[in-house]
Amino acid sequence: MDRQREEPMVKPEFGYVTPENICLLTDLYELTMADSYYRRNKNQRVVFDLFVRGMPPCRNFYVFAGLEQVLYFLENLKFSYDAIDYLRSLNLFSDEFLRFLKDFRFTGDVYAMEEGEIFFPNEPVVRIEAPLIEAQIVETFLLNTVNFQSAIASKAARVIIAAKGKGCVDFSPRRDHGADAALKVARASYIVGFMGTSCVVAGKVYGIPVFGTMAHSYVMSFPSEIEAFRAFVEDFPNNSVLLIDTYDTIEGAKNAIKVAKEMEKRGRRLRGVRIDSGDLLTEAKEVRRLLDENGLGYVKIFLSGDLNEYKIHDLLEKGAPCDFFGVGTEMGVSKDAPALGGVYKLAQDETGPRIKLSKGKVTLPGIKQVYRIFSPEGTMVKDVIALEEEKIKGIPLLKKVMESGKVITSVPSLEEIRESFSQRLSSLPEPLKSITKHHDYKVDLSQGLSELIEKLKHSPH
Amino acid sequence: MDRQREEPMVKPEFGYVTPENICLLTDLYELTMADSYYRRNKNQRVVFDLFVRGMPPCRNFYVFAGLEQVLYFLENLKFSYDAIDYLRSLNLFSDEFLRFLKDFRFTGDVYAMEEGEIFFPNEPVVRIEAPLIEAQIVETFLLNTVNFQSAIASKAARVIIAAKGKGCVDFSPRRDHGADAALKVARASYIVGFMGTSCVVAGKVYGIPVFGTMAHSYVMSFPSEIEAFRAFVEDFPNNSVLLIDTYDTIEGAKNAIKVAKEMEKRGRRLRGVRIDSGDLLTEAKEVRRLLDENGLGYVKIFLSGDLNEYKIHDLLEKGAPCDFFGVGTEMGVSKDAPALGGVYKLAQDETGPRIKLSKGKVTLPGIKQVYRIFSPEGTMVKDVIALEEEKIKGIPLLKKVMESGKVITSVPSLEEIRESFSQRLSSLPEPLKSITKHHDYKVDLSQGLSELIEKLKHSPH
């Protein structure tokens, strides 16, 4: 079905989501289905699972992110008058449904993994238990949020692994997919261990540390490179990183060394130099050598310029002497796997557990829990997806976080999520930490779940 | 340089960009450089170009999008008290610069291609002429907006070419990169010819037609498929598209036929059926045959499920009898080329034309215009990038759209952009319309520009 407003289009004033219109961040069919359910008084309690179907060869694990935004959305979801007026203008919805939307609230329960949890295909990461209409209406927002933030967190975690403890900074805002993406890429990369971001609004909204050096245009705006360097360290004496590749990296390094020596005479220290182009390995080695020769062992080297986990791995394998990486585009759009295939599927309704049998799109029925089994040394061994009533040895990963539409846990700070993720990463089996090779982690279905699937395959209704 | 707020982090209430914080959608270095410029009274008028460096093998042309958001941003850019308070808390900026930001406005001139224009690497799509500080501060927002929307428009245009006049609908919100991306993917795909979107907020904000069918969960919520179909057409008698692949596509088609026949008795017509999984070619053919056998030639077939331009091309080549395509993930994240490599570079300052010589990152100096040369039949032959003062035969693509910070043209409606793009697409040489083969379009540098580059290569300062 399709509808276009009958009134003339109003020029948007602020073309972004707002607290008033975010309720409409949904696919149209969620609302038409909801209208049909409402008219038919079909609003029994149901269970939906959010899970990812597959994993591309370039990923060994996923990192769950976006729960804070999901909980905020669910707790605050209201349909503004303005939103309802728009829906009415589509001439599609029943009057009774539009009246119902005026007082709509999400009143369900939510079970979820913690943000920063490591997860694998087919494992529910969020379970919604709610009246059918509520569960349906929130689908698109949940998928949009979890798919995107988890895709970025999963990619950024690979960068963190490759960087072997060297600092990584998000430099991606100019290539991220719009305004919200710039904000959330900073968030998703920070929780897996990035030091911070260049994105100032992410500092404002989330308290993430913000970083920056200088652009080539700054250097070019002065009559000579060394004049640019001198000006910058005068204005930011404690914290300057000089970009040395505008004209010639080695000449740039020599200019930076001159300026660093001048700073030493004033009792200051140059923080670092950045190389953003050319053969980063060769140039970093040469620049390091020049810095060290001049007694500037404390001056750090920042590398940037289309970096990803593969290039960082390669640079460090080959002994690139660098301290920090600025990582932009490839992390910010998760270039090798830009979309996470998360789906949101009915698992149970008033008739009991449900299964979907579309080719290649089978779902796991019933109310489920994910158990993680660790070795005595604390390494992850395997996961088991089980029915909630089964007794399985292992750590249950899904926890109740919302009851009757209200958050019942303290939402962790980004620092807490970051710390938890770091511990989880250390429990990941070594082969799964490989950047270059794909390894599968064992995820079993419990006996109870397997039996239920077999039963429902023969009589799905 | 880096700074973290000293105050404790405040829990975000609405974790998205707002009219108050969008001024901070910038890389930190834009603001530190601006502070340095301000302290040094370096605020001479400069010229920056926004252009894309390269083109991957999977693209033959780009489509420019996002200008409306850029102009709105530039015309309304202010630093709120809240934003300035945050910047002050970083202990990084000079007091005089923070005072300057209170009254900051963008006062420059902007030249740009029209939204929906076809463009190629190295061609400036936006030119900013403004005092240095203003030109610098707006960089990140401009790149974020134009890179993202143009990446999506360029991908979506390929889908439109592949669909050969069949309708395409944006089904991507659940996989787009966050809230703003869902809104802007709908916009960018609409201007290149998508019929509309499933994204309701894009209908509200931009007046884009909204579409929807039904989900598998709707079918599963009824005791049987046919009961679900009957309920839906009763609730939406004029506009129902039935999803027929929840259990078995052919059985689903037979149920849809029964329901369509029942509708006919009530003087109604079923609009269509949707197939979302399995072998779409075989199943569409079989479903079409069944529909036609039953006198239901008017019932349309919608196909969806991980579609992209390659699959659509293939389906139509093999004679898939379908009428509409729902295109989600692959278009919404521009999966094969998820980031456009747009950059923003100094082209001229008070000393004259400037060039950047970093390896692989050379820029074109001076104030430039892009001319397009057409054959007598109206087909694009080649483009010429020239200095503005040169006399070149051809249509100039850059137009002045903002003067002294105020928009001076009427911003076209999305329908107008859509119509212009359709005409442009018809002027594209046939080889460039290939989905499967890469072809290069000829973009020359004028004699004047070539001579200027040679001159500056030998004395860049």
Residue of B110, B146, B144 lying closest to B128 (CA atoms): B110
Cβ-based contacts of A276 with chain B (< 8 Å): 358
Give how far Cα A333 sits from Cα of A53, A185, A233, B312, Å.
Answer: 20, 8, 33, 25
Please report the pLDDT score of residue A7 as a whole number.
41
User: A271 with B1: CB under 8 angstroms?
Assistant: yes
State the Cα–Cα distance between residues A276 and A326, nearest whole angstrom. Answer: 9
Q: CB–CB of B218 and A33 under 8 A? A: yes
State the Cα–Cα distance between residues B211 and A273, nearest whole angstrom. Answer: 52
State the Cα–Cα distance between residues B350 and B360, nearest whole angstrom. Answer: 26
Among A36, A92, A212, the residue with its CB nearest the CB of B232 is A36
> Residue type for A320, please?
A
Which residue segments constitute the domains of chain B, with CATH numbers given?
22-152+340-458 (3.20.140.10), 165-332 (3.20.20.70)
State the Cα–Cα distance between residues B194 and B209, nearest whole angstrom. Answer: 10
Residue by residue, pLDDT tens for chain A (461 residues) are 555 544 433 355 689 999 999 999 999 999 999 999 999 999 999 999 999 999 999 999 999 999 999 999 999 999 999 999 999 999 999 999 999 999 999 999 999 999 999 999 999 999 999 999 999 999 999 999 999 999 999 999 999 999 999 999 999 999 999 999 999 999 999 999 999 999 999 999 999 999 999 999 899 889 999 999 999 999 999 989 999 998 899 999 999 999 999 999 999 999 999 999 999 999 999 999 999 999 999 999 999 999 999 999 999 999 999 999 999 999 999 999 999 999 999 999 999 999 877 666 778 999 999 999 999 999 999 999 999 999 999 999 999 999 999 999 989 999 999 999 999 999 999 999 999 999 999 999 999 999 999 999 887 55
Q: What is the pTM of this model?
A: 0.96
Q: What element of type H or E holds A369?
A: strand A368-374
The SS3 call for residue B18 is coil
Q: Is B375 exposed, middle or buried (0-12, 13-18, 19+ CB in 10 A)?
A: exposed
Other residues' Cβ atoms within 10 Å of the Cβ of residue A378: 9
Cβ-based contacts of A278 with chain B (< 8 Å): 358-360
Tell me how close the Cα of A444 comes to any Cα of chain B, in angstroms: 25
Please report the pLDDT score of residue A387 as a whole number.
98
Residues 6+ apart with CB under 8 A from A349: A44, A46, A47, A132, B220, B221
| Residue B109 backbone dihedrals phi, psi, to 5 degrees | -105, 145
Q: CB–CB of A3 and B39 under 8 A? A: no
User: B154 with B61: CB under 8 angstroms?
Assistant: yes
Q: CB–CB of A148 and B177 under 8 A? A: yes
Tell me how close the Cα of A287 comes to any Cα of chain B, in angstroms: 16
Torsion of CA A193, A198, A203, A208, to 10 degrees: 10
Q: Is A459 within 8 Å of chain B by CB?
A: no
State the Cα–Cα distance between residues A166 and B22, nearest whole angstrom. Answer: 31
Q: CB–CB of B147 and A10 under 8 A? A: no
DSSP state, residue A266? T
User: A290 with A282: CB under 8 angstroms?
Assistant: no
Q: Is A445 exposed, middle or buried (0-12, 13-18, 19+ CB in 10 A)?
A: middle
Q: CB–CB of B9 and A338 under 8 A? A: no
Q: Is A394 within 8 Å of chain B by CB?
A: no
| Residue A38 backbone dihedrals phi, psi, to 5 degrees | -65, -45
Sequential DSSP letters for A99-155? HHHHT-----EEEEPPTT-EE-TT--SEEEEEEHHHHHHTHHHHHHHHHHHHHHHHH
Q: CB–CB of A46 and B333 under 8 A? A: no
Tell which of B22, B210, B249, B344 to mutate to test the A interface (max A CBs under 10 Å).
B210
Q: Is A354 within 8 Å of chain B by CB?
A: yes
Q: Is A31 within 8 Å of chain B by CB?
A: yes
Cβ-based contacts of A213 with chain B (< 8 Å): 1, 29
Please report the pLDDT score of residue A8 as a whole number.
35
Please report the pLDDT score of residue B8 as a whole number.
35
State the Cα–Cα distance between residues A325 and B345, nearest whole angstrom. Answer: 23
DSSP state, residue A11? P
Residue of B174, B172, B169, B125 lying closest to B341 (CA atoms): B125
From first CA to last CA, the distance across chain A in angstroms is 27
State the Cα–Cα distance between residues A276 and A269, nearest whole angstrom. Answer: 22
Please report the pLDDT score of residue A3 as a whole number.
57
Please report the pLDDT score of residue A6 as a whole number.
45
Please report the pLDDT score of residue A12 as a whole number.
53
Residue in A closest to B73 by C-alpha = A14
DSSP state, residue A171? -
Cβ-based contacts of A136 with chain B (< 8 Å): 215, 217
Task: Provide the pairing of β-strand A196-197 with A167-170.
Answer: parallel
Provide the token pair at B58.
């999977």
Q: Is A418 within 8 Å of chain B by CB?
A: no
Tell which of B205, B230, B239 to mutate to test the A interface (max A CBs under 10 Å).
B205
Angle at B340 between CA B339 and CA B342, to 5 degrees: 135
Cβ-based contacts of B33 with chain A (< 8 Å): 214-215, 217-218
Q: CB–CB of A361 and B277 under 8 A? A: yes
Among A17, A214, A356, the residue with its CB nearest the CB of B33 is A214
Q: CB–CB of A209 and B3 under 8 A? A: yes
State the Cα–Cα distance between residues B383 and A251, nearest whole angstrom. Answer: 37
Count, residues in chain A = 461
State the Cα–Cα distance between residues A328 and A305, nearest whole angstrom. Answer: 8
Tell which of B30, B204, B308 to mutate to test the A interface (max A CBs under 10 Å).
B204
CA B262 to the chain's CA centroid: 43
Cβ-based contacts of A232 with chain B (< 8 Å): 36
Q: CB–CB of B220 and A354 under 8 A? A: yes
Q: CB–CB of B36 and A232 under 8 A? A: yes
Please report the pLDDT score of residue A361 as a whole number.
72
Cβ-based contacts of B461 with chain A (< 8 Å): 223-224
Provide the token pair at B449.
């520009």
User: A63 with A192: CB under 8 angstroms?
Assistant: yes
The SS3 call for residue A244 is coil
Residue in A closest to B340 by C-alpha = A175
State the Cα–Cα distance between residues A433 and B281, nearest whole angstrom. Answer: 40
Residue of A245, A232, A252, A222 lying closest to B351 (CA atoms): A222
Q: Is A329 within 8 Å of chain B by CB?
A: yes
Cβ-based contacts of B210 with chain A (< 8 Å): 2-4, 28, 90
Residues 294-313, chain B: which have Cβ within 8 Å of A?
none
The SS3 call for residue A315 is helix
Q: CB–CB of A333 and B339 under 8 A? A: yes
Other residues' Cβ atoms within 10 Å of the Cβ of residue A166: 18
State the Cα–Cα distance between residues A348 and A355, nearest whole angstrom. Answer: 8
Among A178, A216, A217, the residue with its CB nearest the CB of B177 is A178
Residues 208-267, chain B: which have Cβ within 8 Å of A?
209-218, 220-221, 223-224, 231-232, 235-236, 238-241, 245-248
Angle at A120 between CA A119 and CA A123, to 5 degrees: 85
Please report the pLDDT score of residue B1 as a whole number.
58
Q: Is A333 within 8 Å of chain B by CB?
A: yes
State the Cα–Cα distance between residues A215 and B132, nearest whole angstrom. Answer: 13
Provide the token pair at B21.
């914080």
Residue in B closest to A198 by C-alpha = B27
User: B385 with B370: CB under 8 angstroms?
Assistant: yes
DSSP state, residue B27? B
Residue of A306, A148, A452 lying closest to B332 (CA atoms): A148
Other residues' Cβ atoms within 10 Å of the Cβ of residue A436: 10
Buried b (16+ CB within 10 A) or exposed e, A317-336: eeebbbebbbbbbbbbbbbb
Sheet holding B324-327, edge to edge: A2-3, B210-211, B196-197, B167-170, B324-327, B300-303, B272-275, B241-243
DSSP state, residue B432? G
Among B330, B338, B460, the residue with its CB nearest the CB of A335 is B338
| Residue B449 backbone dihedrals phi, psi, to 5 degrees | -70, -40
Residue of B204, B210, B206, B142 lying closest to B170 (CA atoms): B210
Tell me how close the Cα of A303 comes to any Cα of chain B, in angstroms: 14
Cβ-based contacts of A149 with chain B (< 8 Å): 178
Q: Is B275 within 8 Å of chain A by CB?
A: no
Tell me how close the Cα of B305 comes to any Cα of chain A, in angstroms: 11
State the Cα–Cα distance between residues A165 and A330, nearest whole angstrom. Answer: 19
Q: Is A352 left (phi over 0), alpha (psi -120 to 50) or beta?
A: left
Cβ-based contacts of B10 with chain A (< 8 Å): 207
| Residue A422 backbone dihedrals phi, psi, to 5 degrees | -60, -40
The H-assigned helical ranges of B40-131 are: 67-76, 81-89, 95-102
CA B204 to the chain's CA centroid: 18
Among B94, B211, B224, the residue with its CB nearest the CB of A2 is B211
Q: CB–CB of B1 and A213 under 8 A? A: yes
Q: Is A408 within 8 Å of chain B by CB?
A: no
Cβ-based contacts of B276 with chain A (< 8 Å): 358
Q: Is A75 exposed, middle or buried (0-12, 13-18, 19+ CB in 10 A)?
A: middle
Instruction: Flag residues of chain B having pLDDT under 50.
Output: 5-10
User: B193 with B422: CB under 8 angstroms?
Assistant: yes
Residues 6+ apart with CB under 8 A from B336: B56, B58, B155, B308, B330
State the Cα–Cα distance between residues B442 and A134, nearest whole angstrom. Answer: 55
